[in-house]
Structure 1
């Protein structure tokens, strides 16, 4: 069991306060801080801190002893690669509208781009690796997102409520075919509109959203979102595509799972995110980055309906698991302290684990070894470590990342 030193990633959409406050640093920061990475991603691996204060890359630790660190089952499937990446994500501005491929799609896409000679660092490369990238986000604060296609019957009502004459025919396309095929047809039409047409339609749609909000229409939150996106990304087709998606507000402890093909965008808030250790992103809009429409259409899932929101299932005293079908990862939330009736919390796993303290202060004990985790600190537990016992004198929250169980 070793403490981790983790990288903070700075992106323009990040927060100047959320991650710094978690880490006990001065706020506001000079630049936005968007993500805190915990894991063995080659781009910014965590460093394992030795008792003498020295450190080494978690990547190197895994390469030297994959079976000892990851366990036989995990090492047999993933080699020396840690299959998950744990993050704290802090968004003050909307992220790009995007989807991720399945394992088969990623493997085929990666091979095709390799065969075509597209450099791995090319800005037009879609596939950085041959792996899937499912993910799950659990809110630490109120967290706002767009995720998955709304029921087309409901979307047709929304579109008809907007007084935008030149946009009305597009809404009627969906009203005439309110199913996955209708969604696909309308979505494809919107994201391939010529810029001259977008420049005509977007101001009308934004004006209609302003009117809808002023009149306290039933789609107030959806219209406010479109206005926010329109201001952040003027002239972007993704603003219109966002009209088709579920608008979600998560409370702390709520989570959504985003499987392959799910179109989504995080809008605002701080959360703990766990994802497969991959860089594969197919962007749709709300970004100046490369958008490959044909490849995006190959990946997207046009199934529709409300996004299931999880609150966690208490699988043992003090431990709530967020269930997914992913072999790459599993996320659990741990609550321990005076307000808990469970006492100390015991966690065990046959593979690797990362524990992150998000509130309070925890003591983690494995056998004869004991470490104190302050808020914002995390610890690496190898497959060889004994079961961990977590105790706290104040109300404390941790998150546990592990490999999934097939």
Structure 2
């Protein structure tokens, strides 16, 4: 059980204050800070800090003794690789609209691009990793997102509410086939529209959205999103595609699970994200980066429904966000201001602990580690069970990331 020193990723959509203030650094930061990475991805592995203050890459440490660090079961299933990556996301502006491949698609795509000699950091590389990238995001603040295709019947109601002469043929297309096939056809048409066609279509759509918002219409939130995206990404086909997706507002502690093929875009807010240890992204818009339309269409799931929001499963003092992903499982412990109870954290698997509020003391009976906001710790699989308790006044929040249990999710609203 040792502290981690983690990399901050400076993407343009990040906040100049959120991560800086969480980590106790000068705020505002000189540049946007978007993600704090905790794990052993080769792109930015965490560094383990021993009691003497010496640091070593978590990736190197796992490679040196995988069975001690990961446990025999994890090594048997995943090899000498920590299968999950934990992040804090600080989104000041929308992220790109994107989806991630299944395990089979990732393995095939990675092998294909390796054989073609495409550099892993090339702008047109889709599959830098040979593994899937399911993910779960849990809100720390109010968190706004687009995720999953909305029921076509509801989407038709939205398209009628903002109907324009230019939009009418597309609405009629979906009305003639209000199912996954119709969604695929409409999305494909929109994402491949020439720039001149987008330039003719979007201004009237924006006017209709303004009117709908002023009239306090049923789809005011979706219309405000179209207007915001249109301002941030003028002429981008992702603005149109946003009309097809569920628009979500998560409260603190609420989470969504995004399996392979789920088209999504995080819009703003702060959240903890856990995902398979992969950086495979197929972008679909809201970005100046490479968009590979044929490959995106190959991995997208056009199944539609309301996007399930989970508050986690109650397991004693732990709230466990269980999913079908075998690579990861995320749990959360929250102590109210007057609550000072110790909470058991079972061992036997590799774990990363992350404190997001207050101060938490974690110990195994022989030694203790104090975690403050933004601090995290690496716990090898061979370490014993731990006890965690808050220290000081106020609330305290601790997240525990580990390998998955292959169980379905529960606690959905």
TM-score range, shorter chain: over 0.9
Corresponding position: 1:288 with 2:288: yes
Question: Which one of 328, 339, 345 corresponds to residue 343 of structure 2?
Answer: 345
CA apart distance, 1:108: 0.9
Corresponding position: 1:387 with 2:385: yes
Paired position in structure 2 for 1:373: 371
Paired position in structure 2 for 1:330: 329
**TM-score, with normalisation over the residues of structure 1?**
0.97
Report the Cα distance in structure 1 between the residues aligned to 2:21 and 2:383, rounded to whole angstroms: 31
Report the Cα distance in structure 1 between the residues aligned to 2:125 and 2:366, rounded to whole angstroms: 49
CA apart distance, 1:392: 1.4
Deviates more, 1:64-73 or 1:194-203: 194-203
Report the Cα distance in structure 2 between the residues aligned to 1:247 and 1:182, rounded to whole angstroms: 20
| Deviation digits for residues 125-169 of structure 1 (CA, Å, limit 9, x no counterpart) | 211111000000000000000000011000001001114211111
Report the Cα distance in structure 2 between the residues aligned to 1:12 and 1:271, rounded to whole angstroms: 17
**TM-score, with normalisation over the residues of structure 2?**
0.96
| Deviation digits for residues 312-366 of structure 1 (CA, Å, limit 9, x no counterpart) | 11112x210001011110000012365338x210011321001000011011001
Report the Cα distance in structure 1 between the residues aligned to 2:347 and 2:261, rounded to whole angstroms: 30
Report the Cα distance in structure 2 between the residues aligned to 1:44 and 1:129, rounded to whole angstroms: 14
- Contiguous gaps of at least 5 residues in structure 1: none
Corresponding position: 1:25 with 2:25: yes
Paired position in structure 2 for 1:98: 98
Runs of 4+ more than 4 Å apart: none
Report the Cα distance in structure 2 between the residues aligned to 1:167 and 1:46, rounded to whole angstroms: 48
Paired position in structure 1 for 2:260: 260
Paired position in structure 2 for 1:87: 87
Contact 1:337 1:391 in 2 (8 A): no
CA apart distance, 1:107: 0.6
CA apart distance, 1:22: 1.0
Report the Cα distance in structure 2 between the residues aligned to 1:209 and 1:337, rounded to whole angstroms: 42
Paired position in structure 2 for 1:356: 354
Give the 3-state SS of the residue equivalent to 2:331 in structure 1: strand
RMSD between aligned alpha carbons?
1.1
Paired position in structure 2 for 1:37: 37
Paired position in structure 2 for 1:66: 66
Contact 1:336 1:390 in 2 (8 A): no
Give the 3-state SS of the residue equivalent to 2:113 in structure 1: helix
Between the two proteins, the alignment pairs up a number of residues equal to 404
| Deviation digits for residues 89-141 of structure 1 (CA, Å, limit 9, x no counterpart) | 00000000000000001011111222233232221121111100000000000
Contact 1:236 1:286 in 2 (8 A): yes
Corresponding position: 1:396 with 2:396: yes
Paired position in structure 1 for 2:9: 9
- Contiguous gaps of at least 5 residues in structure 2: 407-413
Report the Cα distance in structure 2 between the residues aligned to 1:340 and 1:145, rounded to whole angstroms: 32
